[in-house]
Amino acid sequence: MNRYVRPILTIGFFAALALTSACTVRPLYSSAPATSAGTATMSEELASIAIKPVTTREAQQVRNHLMFLFYGGGAEPANPAYTLTVSVSPRIDTAASIQWTTEDEEPTAKTVTMRGTYRLTAADGTQVASGRRQIASSFDVPGQEFAAIRAERDAKDRAARELAELIRLAVAQDIARR
C-alpha cells in the first residue's frame, strides 16, 4: 500500500506547487513597483489619485480620511494619474428587535450602516475600477437629546473612517491588478 501512496502524494505536491507558483503576495506598502510595467510604488500610486469633491457631511468625512490616507498629510497631486469618485449613503436602524427601551418605547441602541461606492478612472478617462463597500457602527442612544445626537454623529464619523479604510484597500487592490 505504501508504494501507491507515495506517488499520489508526490503528484499532489507538485500539482499544489504548480498552482501556487502563479500567486504573488506582497505587502501593500512594499518598495517594489505596484504594477508590472510601472516603476511607482503603491504609496506613490495612491498619492497620484485626485478625489472629487462631495456634497454630504458623511461623504466629506470619507473623502477627508481618504485624502489623509492617500497623501499622508500632503497636498493633492497637481497632475493626477487617476480620479476617484466617491458617494456615501448612511442608514440608521435599531440594533436589535428585542432590546431595552425607555418609558416612551424608544430603542436605546442603534446601528449606522454606511454604504459607499467608488469609481476609479485613469487620466485619459477610462474606468479602471469600481466597487461598493459598507460598514456598520453601533451606538447607544442616551436619554438626553444632545447626547443622543452626538452619539449618532460619532457613530457616523467612526463608520466614515472605517469605510475610507475599506475603499483605500479596494483601490490599492484594483491598481495592483492593473
**Mean per-residue pLDDT, 89-103:** 70
Q: List the grid coordinates of 163.
A: 469605510
Q: What is the pLDDT of residue 171?
A: 94
CATH number of 34-177: 3.30.160.150
- Vertex 156 angle, CA 67 and 75, to 5°: 10
**Mean per-residue pLDDT, 124-146:** 91
* Residue 23 scores a pLDDT above 70: no
Q: List the grid coordinates of 121.
A: 478612472
- Vertex 123 angle, CA 53 and 40, to 5°: 105
Distance CA 111, CA 140 (A): 9
Contact criterion met (CB below 8 Å) for 89 and 57: no
The predicted model scores a pTM of 0.75
Contact criterion met (CB below 8 Å) for 141 and 75: no
pLDDT in tens, 24-76: 555 655 555 555 555 678 888 888 999 999 999 999 999 999 999 999 888 88
